[in-house]
Amino acid sequence: MCFSKKHLSRRAVFHPYFYRKRKFLFYSESEINADPSKKIPYGYAFVVDKDAPIFFIAPGGGYCMVCISYEGAFIAEELNRRGINAFVLNYRVGENAHAPNPQEDMASLIKYVFANKEKFGIARDDYSVLGFSAGGHLVASFATENVGYKSFGLPKPRAAVLCYPVLTMGENTHRESMLKLTDGDETLRDAYSVEKHADNYPPCFIWYCADDKCVPPINSDDLYRALKEKGIPVKLCAYKKGGHGLGLGYHSEAAGWMDEMTAFLKDYIY
**Per-residue model confidence as pLDDT tens digits over 19-47:** 777 899 999 999 999 999 999 999 999 99
Residues of the chain below pLDDT 70: 1-18
* Closest to 63 in 3D by CA, of 149, 150, 2, 154: 2
- Residue 6: the pLDDT is 47
Distance CA 50, CA 84 (A): 10
**How much is the pLDDT for 14?**
52
Q: Residue 21's pLDDT is what? A: 76
Yes or no: say if 144 and 112 are a contact pair by the CB < 8 Å rule: no
User: Distance between CA atoms of 264 and 5, rounded to whole angstroms?
Assistant: 29
Domain boundaries, the chain: 5-269
pTM of the predicted protein model:
0.94
| pLDDT for the residue 48 | 98
Calculate helix-pair angle for 101-115, 133-142, nearest 10 degrees. 70
CATH superfamily of 5-269: Alpha/Beta hydrolase fold, catalytic domain (3.40.50.1820)
